[in-house]
Amino acid sequence: MNGRSWRAGRGDTALEAAGAEQGGPTPEAAPAGRGTPGLTDRQASRKHKRHARLVALGDARVTPLAARAPMIVMLIYFAVPLVWLLISATKDNSGLFSSFGFAFADSFNLLTNIADTVTRQDGIYLRWVANTVLYAGTSAIVGTSLATAAGYAIARLNFPGRRAYFTVVLATIMVPATALTIPTYLLLSRVGLTNTPWAVILPSIVSPFGFYLMAVYAQSAIPDGLLEAARIDGAGEYRVFVQIALPQLVPGFITVLILNLVAAWNDYFLPLIMLSDTKLFPVTVGLATWNSQAAAGDANEAVFSNVITGSVLAIVPLVVAFLALQRYWQSGITMGAVKS
């Protein structure tokens, strides 16, 4: 039998020419098709075409450093302010202005700053933190529950006007939240809810973006056969949602919960408009009040170190919440990785 009988025609001739031009292996050096055990003629031809393209391109590969460069840039972008905040929390008011921003001062005052922050004005900072936990926690839990139920209904139930409802909710995502703050204030003032915790909680429990995320997730995460089997067994829609669908939606629920929690925890404009009593302030508005006092230049109100230390303390609950809930994200990532 002729030694060149394995050639697959025109494609192999081009491969041979490309390999010879670049100094790479030719088809004679690595026969395909019947000459390669376990490969058909077509598979061997594709293999050699890929090799020829790599040879023609000089086998150009992205270096590990170049591949990691965008990640390193983003890490620096987010880490630099946090590092500055942590270092500045260890300085007193004079050290903030007499030392380099990313260098520690002569004295380490972190514990002193924490004690001053939590005891200033009869411990009002702890009251602000408690208010923030109440506002953000209630808004996140209730808002995520509503978004999960509504998203499941839109994705898995058939009822008149479903598409219209979904379109209207999606349209509200395009409206900035700050544009609705003043109308919301006027509505709540008519019913006497301004300057109360409800003025912050009620507008925050509605999350159109969370509804959209849960609708998309419910569409892909819940098998149709699972719901049909439950209905055939006599389960009502409420039982199907609570016992069958909800366990499948836990990763999406946790994701929306974290997003709502962070948004409500960092909210500044809404409580600033709705609240006037300092005892009802969340930590964002309270620290802004201290900062305005420090910026006024009064020697008795030099509390920049308290503002910075309070900002560091305000981050801790969010970090704890993320670390406690991330395992649900990990389980959600692996969900569906193995096809049954």
SS3 string of the chain? CCCCCCCCCHHHHHHHHHHHHHCCCCCCCCCCHHHCCCCCHHHHHHHHHHHHHHHHCCCCCCCHHHHHHHHHHHHHHHHHHHHHHHHHCCCCHHHHHHCCCCCCCCCCCHHHHHHHHHHCCCCHHHHHHHHHHHHHHHHHHHHHHHHHHHHHHHHHCCCCCHHHHHHHHHHHHCCCHHHHHHHHHHHHHHCCCCCCCHHHHHHHCCCHHHHHHHHHHHHHHCCHHHHHHHHHCCCCHHHHHHHHHHHHCHHHHHHHHHHHHHHHHCCCHHHHHHCCCHHHCCHHHHHHHHHHHHHCCCHHHCCHHHHHHHHHHHHHHHHHHHHHHHHHHHHHHHCCCCCC
Q: What is the predicted pLDDT for the residue at 169?
A: 87
DSSP per residue, 305-333: HHHHHHHHHHHHHHHHHHHHHHHHHHHHH
Q: What is the predicted pLDDT for the residue at 315?
A: 93
Question: What mean pLDDT is predicted for residues 276-291?
Answer: 93
Q: Could you give the domains of the chain?
A: 10-56 (no CATH), 64-108 (no CATH), 114-334 (1.10.3720.10)
Question: What mean pLDDT is predicted for residues 188-205?
Answer: 93
Express each pLDDT in 84-124 by its tens digit. 999 999 998 888 888 888 888 888 889 999 999 999 989 99
Question: What mean pLDDT is predicted for residues 9-32?
Answer: 43
Say if residue 266's pLDDT is above 90.
yes
Distance of CA 299 to the CA centre of its chain: 41
Q: What distance in Å separates the CA atoms of residue 227 and residue 299, rounded to the nearest whole number?
A: 67
Q: How much is the pTM?
A: 0.74
| Surface-to-core class of residue 159, CB atoms within 10 Å of its CB (0-12 exposed, 13-18 middle, 19+ buried) | exposed
Share of the chain above pLDDT 70, in %: 76
